[in-house]
Amino acid sequence: MFDFTDIEAKSIPSAIDMPPGLMEDCEYVFSVTFTDPDAMDIKALANATSRIITREGESLSTYPPPFGHEGLREFIASELFENRDIKVSPDNIFLSSGAGGAVQIMIDAFIDSDDVVLMDEYCYHGSLNMFLRKGANPIHVKMDDQGMIPSELESSIKSFIKDGHTPKMIYTIPVYHNPTGVTTTLERRKAIVELSNKYSIPIVENESYADFRIDGPDLPPSMMSIDKAEGVMYISAFTKLLGCGLRLGFGVFPDSAKESIQKVSLGRSPSHLASMSVYEYLKGHKTSYVEGVARSLGSKRDSMVRALGEFFPPTCTWTEPKGGMLIWVELPGHADTWKALDKAVSKGVKYNPGSIFRADRKGGNKLRLTYSHNSPEDIEKGIEILANVFEEEGLF
Ligand SMILES: Cc1ncc(COP(=O)(O)O)c(C=O)c1O
C-alpha cells in the first residue's frame, strides 16, 4: 500500500496547538460565529438562485473573471460607498472564499516569514493562525473599549524599527471586534491611519461584522475611507450574513496592490454559482434581511446576557454588545478556560478559550461566547450548564 505520509511536503507548516474539544459536535455551540439559522430566508434565496441560473446559467460553462462576478463586485462597490464611505472601482475588489480567503490572499501577497505584524490585543484565531502558519511574528497591541491604543501602537512600531524590523502590516478588526466586541472609535481610526502614514506601514482592516449592528450607534467610517495615502486594504464577507457554507467574501485594495494580489489569487476565486445567487438575492433583499438578522440576533444576545446574569457569579464580567454575535467574558484570574473546555464539551457546550486569540497564549481566564447558532431558549440552558461546569471545575 502506498503511504502518502511518506511524501508529505516539507513546506507544510506545523500544526498550531488548539484545544481538541473545539472540533467535537455539541448541542450548544457558543464557539463559532455561524450564520444565524433563524434569520435565513431559504425560500427567497432558492428563488433568487433559480432566477439567475435561468438568466445567466450559460455563463457557468466558462471560467469567471479573475476577480469574480462583475455584478456582485459592482454591488459591493455601491454598498461600500453607501455604508462605509469607501469610493472604489469594482476593478479594485476581488471575491474570495469567505473573509478568511481574502486574509490568506493578502498574507500570501505581502507577508514573508519573520515579518512583524501588529494586531489587536486579542485577534480572531482563524486569522492569527494564518499569520502564524506563514511564519510571521504577530505582535499584539493593547486595546481598551475604544479600540487599539495609538500610543501603544506607536511605541511598538518605534521599538521594532529601532531593532531593524520595521513592521510589515497592521491587521485589525475594527467593527464588533472578534473576540472582544469593541468597535474602534473615529478618533482612534484617525490616529491609527496617521501612524500608518507616518511610518509607511499599511493597514488591513477586516470589517466582517459591519452589517451586524443590533441597536448600537451608527458605525464610524472605515479606515479605508479616512486614509488618503492609499495604504489601507479592506476585507469583509457574506458568510456570517447569508450562510457560512456559501464561502463568499471579498477584499478591496488600492491600485498599487493589484499586481501582487493578481499573482497569488489565480485559480482561487470562489464558486461563480454562489456569487450569482448572492448577487441576485441581495440586490432585492439586503436592507430587510439585515434588519431581520439584527432582530433575531438581538433576542439571542438578550437571552445570553440574561443567562450570564442569572448563572454566573459577580466575580465574572462580560460585555453587552450592541452588534456582532459574540460576548467576551472574564473569569477570576486563576481560571483556566483552555483546560475546562473538555469538561464543558462532555456536557454538550462549546466555547472559545481566550488564549487561542493570542500568539503567546495569554488570556487563560477569558472566553468568547457566540450567540448566533442556538435558539434563545437553548442559549439559556447552555449557559446554565456552562456555569455548573465552571463551578465544579473551580473556575469561579
Ligand atoms: C473577523 C473574522 N474574519 C474572518 C472570519 C472567517 O470567516 P469566513 O467564513 O468569512 O472565511 C471570521 C469568522 O469568524 C471572523 O470573525
Quick: pLDDT tens for 18-29. 998 999 999 999
What is the structure's pLDDT at 284? 83
- pLDDT tens, residue by residue, 306-327: 999 999 999 999 999 999 999 9
- pLDDT tens, residue by residue, 205-220: 999 999 999 999 999 9
Is there an atom of ligand 1 within 6 Å of 100 CB? yes
pLDDT at 14 over 90: no
Residues 6 or more apart whose CB falls under 8 angstroms from that of 60 comprise: 272, 273
What is the structure's pLDDT at 197? 98
Query: Over pLDDT 70: what percentage of the chain?
Result: 100
Ligand 1 pocket test: pick from 208, 352, 373 the residue with the most ligand atoms within 8 Å of its Cβ.
208
pLDDT at 59 over 90: yes
Is there an atom of ligand 1 within 6 Å of 239 CB? yes
- pLDDT tens, residue by residue, 356-392: 999 999 999 999 999 999 999 999 999 999 999 999 9
The CATH class of the 13-41+288-392 domain is: alpha beta
CATH 3.40.640.10 maps onto the chain at 43-284
CATH 3.90.1150.10 maps onto the chain at 13-41+288-392
What is the structure's pLDDT at 342? 97
What is the structure's pLDDT at 5? 93
Is there an atom of ligand 1 within 6 Å of 244 CB? yes
Rounded distance from Cα 385 to ligand 1 centre (Å): 27
pLDDT at 248 over 90: yes
Ligand 1 pocket test: pick from 131, 239, 278, 352 the residue with the most ligand atoms within 8 Å of its Cβ.
239
Rounded distance from Cα 159 to ligand 1 centre (Å): 31
Mean pLDDT, the chain, as a whole number? 97
- pLDDT tens, residue by residue, 76-121: 999 999 999 999 999 999 999 999 999 999 999 999 999 999 999 9
Q: Which atom of ligand 1 is nearest to the CA of 235?
A: 3
- pLDDT tens, residue by residue, 285-307: 899 999 999 999 999 999 999 99
Nearest CA to ligand 1 atom 16: 178
Is there an atom of ligand 1 within 6 Å of 246 CB? no
Q: Which atom of ligand 1 is nearest to the CA of 97?
A: 11
Is there an atom of ligand 1 within 6 Å of 269 CB? no
Nearest CA to ligand 1 atom 13: 33
Rounded distance from Cα 98 to ligand 1 centre (Å): 7
67 pLDDT band, cuts 50/70/90, is very high
**43-284, what's its fold?**
Aspartate Aminotransferase; domain 2 (3.40.640)
